[in-house]
Structure 1
Amino acid sequence: MAWFKQAHYFEKSHLKLAHITDSHLFAHRKGLYFDVNTADNLRAVLSQLALQQLDAVVFGGDLTQDHTIASYTLFATLVSESDLTCPVFWLPGNHDELDMLEHMSQGQIQTAKRLYTDAIDILLLNSKGPTPAGWCDEPHLADVIQALNNSASKTLVFCHHHPVPIDGYLDKHMLENGPQLLNILVESECVMALIHGHVHNEYHLRFRELDIFATPATSIQFTKGTALWQQQDLGPAWRLITIEDDTFSTEVVWLNG
């Protein structure tokens, strides 16, 4: 269970978490992704998060667009320059490299992949595959099964890729063994929901009785319901997750809303 070896314990049963994802940063602050300054967007999101009295932030992957170590340094710099005081945890997206994520992880940015209270577990999965599509390999799925079996708590699960189709362009890059993962989660009878990024918009779908939530990007959003790659100018967004004992609620917060 090496992936979940590092854990972070919260000495409280009520938590406020933020899920942010898909920042697509560049080596410099003026980098543009489809004509959007992604560093400025992330800075604005972090400024809003700093007002929320959060217990933690989960970054959901695709930190970088140009795959430079400087883009990871920029992410860490933007976090340190913000007024955010809670820890920031991460999981990898298809654009990310694990060694670069780990290199930037110090102080406020932490590497734990299991977050927990006395009443709930939160697991941060690795869905990065050999292609832009997602893949959870067998050893990782075995780690997930073991983590679920070892816990008596209700569980929230995060990953980067979407495990069910959204009827959009990015279905060509979805989690290819999504049904295998989802069946594991459902049959554990302890997972309340799976939350992911990657699709650059807000979705709420279901697989069997499991809720699946997609969080919009801090960078740009993509138009829903089209097989074409279309940007939608909605501004950045993030997801608030409120945990009370072994229950949770969630909502998406749009900065331009």
Structure 2
Amino acid sequence: MAWFRNAYHFDKTALKVAHITDCHLSKDTTGEYFSVNTAAYFSRCLQAIAKLDVDCVVFGGDLTQDHSTESYQLFAKLIDNSALSCPVFWLPGNHDELAEYEKLTSPQILNNKCITFLGGQLLLANSKGPTPAGWVTHTHLDELSQAIGQVPSVVFCHHNPLPIQAYLDKHMLENGPQLLNTCVNTEHCLGVFHGHVHHEYRQTYRDLSVYATPASSIQFSKHTMAWQQEDLGPAFRVINLTIDEQQNLRLSTDVVWLNE
């Protein structure tokens, strides 16, 4: 349970969450990824999120493109300089290093991987493997199962646990079914959210909804195994967790596109 041990708690029955992912920053604000200024696109998302009165932000990984310490510092600076006032939680992507995240000193960027509220919890899993493909260790799967327990839960990871019939399937979560079976078998997981694939998807696995959030940077073309990119503008996802009349936790979600 070490990964999920230190929980951050919201003393409220409903939670509004922004999920933003795959910003691919470089060492300074001029850096580009497939001709997109990633710092500018990330900043646009932060400004839009700040207007939505969310309780927290979950950053879904692939912070860096050039793997520099400065890119992590830029991430913190862009958050600090934005109008965003809520806490920002993170999980690692295949491009990222845990040690670089943990060196950040911004009081707004927190290392907690379990976010609780009076209606349930968010669990931020680690799918970073030894290659660009994802891997969740057996120990971590046990941690996840124990953390969900009897609590209504929403799980986040970086890699896609299901194939999307597109290029990034070559780097998907290699033991994705094991992760999803762990979630389904608890009978308390409401949904799984991931990034990595740079586009919007919704899939189902054993009646469990699996959602992909588009990148704040460039998107990757759907329905092709070719390596194709599309500048569709930055995007993020909003997740609403509310209690219904029967006192059950309900999930609703929409993607916000910031097309000009």
TM-score, normalised to structure 1, is 0.98
Instruction: Name the counterpart of 2:258.
Output: 255
SS at match of 1:78: helix
SS at match of 1:229: coil
Correspondence list, 1:1-257, <5 A: 1-149=1-149, 152-245=150-243, 246-256=249-259
Decide whether the 8 Å contact of 2:10 with 2:117 is kept in 1: yes
Decide whether the 8 Å contact of 1:165 with 1:171 is kept in 2: yes
- How much has 1:106 moved relative to structure 2? 3.5
- Aligned-partner residue type, residue 200 of structure 2: E
SS at match of 1:46: helix
1:37-62 CA distances to partner (integer Å, 9 max, x unpaired)?
00000011101111111100000000
Count of residue pairs the alignment pairs up: 255
Separation in structure 2 between the aligned mates of residue 145 and residue 14 of structure 1, nearest angstrom: 23
- Aligned-partner residue type, residue 197 of structure 2: V
| RMSD between superposed Cα atoms in Å | 0.9
- Aligned-partner residue type, residue 120 of structure 1: G
- Aligned-partner residue type, residue 15 of structure 1: L
- How much has 1:230 moved relative to structure 2? 0.3
- Aligned-partner residue type, residue 210 of structure 1: L
Decide whether the 8 Å contact of 2:62 with 2:96 is kept in 1: yes
Separation in structure 1 between the aligned mates of residue 182 and residue 143 of structure 2, nearest angstrom: 11
Separation in structure 1 between the aligned mates of residue 142 and residue 16 of structure 2, nearest angstrom: 29
Separation in structure 2 between the aligned mates of residue 105 and residue 4 of structure 1, nearest angstrom: 20
Which residues of structure 2 form unaligned runs of 5+? 244-248
- How much has 1:142 moved relative to structure 2? 1.4
Separation in structure 2 between the aligned mates of residue 93 and residue 256 of structure 1, nearest angstrom: 25
TM-score, normalised to structure 2, is 0.96
- How much has 1:183 moved relative to structure 2? 0.7
Separation in structure 1 between the aligned mates of residue 171 and residue 85 of structure 2, nearest angstrom: 34
Which residues of structure 1 form unaligned runs of 5+? none
